[in-house]
Structure 1
């Protein structure tokens, strides 16, 4: 038996409100849209991962999703320009990542990170 994929699901009253957030900040493409569910995807492949945590590190809350990017500073600036709520300011963490938290339109906290 092999895990082929892990999909994060975020509850939202209106999934369409999240389109510009995920398309603009992360360049994700809509790969499925049934109105009640919108699925975004990137072209890259990654190993399936699942994290279970008692905190988000550095005393932060546990985010609903972590998204690794190749330029966290650019995404941080896009989030600020877009007026999205920055929940945790950009920081270099002692475990070797640079990251920030942003709240998506449904209220989910997204950990945006780049490995050093």
Structure 2
């Protein structure tokens, strides 16, 4: 399994806050909007750096703190299950083209592990 990218996820309380935060980060960091689903906006630059801002995850019970995109999500899930890690969102094919699951690490952080399909 190879990690393709790691994206921090910032949580805000409303669509208005999401739009304001996206605008601020774009202005200060020079990033542009790559994706906007209404509840999550992802900003990025031409070197592949990304930052996501979300209100409430559309299909999961909790918001992830970070998203890690890999080339084999099944291998990652197997590793998590073998290690006895708590899975807080099962492996799910999402409508926006991502296969993902969430686990909670020992520090309480929620990690979204996914791959584009």
Show the counterpart of 2:98.
Answer: 97
Query: Matched residues in 2 for 1:89 and 1:7: separation?
Result: 20
- Structure 2, unaligned runs of 5 or more: 1-5, 9-46
Give TM-score scaled by structure 2 length: 0.58
TM-score, with length taken from structure 1: 0.59
Aligned counterparts, 1:53-92, within 5 A: 53-92=54-93
Could you list the structure 1 runs, at least 4 aligned residues long, displaced by more than 6 angstroms after superposition: none
How many aligned positions are there?
74
> Which structure dedicates a bigger proportion of its chain to strand?
2
CA contact (8 A) 2:87 2:102 kept: yes
Residues 1-116 of structure 1: pairs in structure 2 closer than 5 A: 47-116=48-117
1: CA distance between counterparts of 2:105 and 2:64? 11
Unaligned runs of 5+ in 1: 1-5, 9-45
